[in-house]
Amino acid sequence: MRLYDYAASQNGYKVRLLLAHLGTPYQTEWVDIFAGEARTGAFLQKNPSGTVPVLEPSPGVFLPESNAILFYLAQGTAYWPNTALAQAQALRWMFFEQESHQPSIAALRHWTLTGKLSRYPALVEGKRRLGQTVLSVMQQQLATQPFFAGGRYSVADICLYAYTHLAHEGGFVLEGYPAVVDWLARVRAQPGHLAQVFAYPPSASGYLPSEREVG
């Protein structure tokens, strides 16, 4: 199994976190997205969208999109719920993460850390409000249960944890969402938790990726 990844990508981190929980051996091929390596002909054959991560579970078979990879890897494990309703709830939160969480919390973190906030002044406030709404929705859910799908730690938590635990780097004050803060601690306490996060390189400030590459 091979993972095409970028060290500073939190979308890649999601996959690495699940693989760490599972203790699954794999090889990594690093793709420097800020050097344009995700836009080469060879990489676009693996993922026409030109984004990381991409999983190669067997030679010549490529699966892009971080949450799709989580779904694939979690099948038959404790990290995928075992009832239809809990599975649907997991998917619900994974869709929520892509639809609302990444365009707000992830985007503002990327812009902040790479000095790009001043490039998009008309968009910042809207993304800030959306991010606050996202955290409020998460707070409401976590006020009544410890995890997002069926009360058990799952890929739904993994996908939401990746950007939430770094939301402060985008200017969000997590202390205003105590249930979210407590949930972050529960995730960190899971066996095999992967704590290491890599910084963006200096070259990131000069590169203008699509919004889907902000991981």
pLDDT digits (tens, 9 = 90+) for 70-108: 999 999 999 999 999 999 999 999 999 999 999 999 999
3-state secondary structure of 168: helix
Max CA separation in the chain (angstroms):
48
Would the pLDDT of 209 be above 80?
no
146: DSSP letter: S
| Spatial CA neighbour of 100 closest among 68, 70, 73, 136 | 136
Q: Write the DSSP assignment of 50-114 as a string of letters.
A: --S-EEEEETTEEEESHHHHHHHHHTTSTTS-SSHHHHHHHHHHHHHIIIIIIIIIIHHHHHHHT
Alpha-carbon span 93 to 163, nearest angstrom: 14
3-state secondary structure of 188: helix
Would the pLDDT of 206 be above 80?
no
Alpha-carbon span 27 to 5, nearest angstrom: 10
pLDDT at 215: 39
Angle, CA 32 vertex, CA 26 and CA 34 arms, to 5°: 150
Find out whether 105 and 161 touch, Cβ atoms under 8 Å. no
* Residue for token pair 């409020």: 136
pLDDT band at 134, cuts 50/70/90? very high
Give, for 135, the enclosing helix (H) or strand (E).
Answer: helix 121-142
pLDDT band at 39, cuts 50/70/90? very high
More confident residue, 150 or 117: 117
* Residue for token pair 């890649």: 12
Q: Long-range contacts of range 173-182, CB-CB < 8 Å, 24 or more positions apart? A: 174/135, 176/135, 177/135, 177/136, 177/138, 177/139, 178/139, 179/138, 179/139, 179/142, 179/143, 180/135, 180/138, 180/139, 180/142, 182/142
Alpha-carbon span 157 to 147, nearest angstrom: 7
User: pLDDT tens digit string along 142-199?
Assistant: 999 999 997 899 999 999 999 999 999 999 999 999 999 999 999 999 999 999 999 8
Q: Which domains does the chain have, with CATH numbers?
A: 2-77 (3.40.30.10), 84-188 (1.20.1050.10)
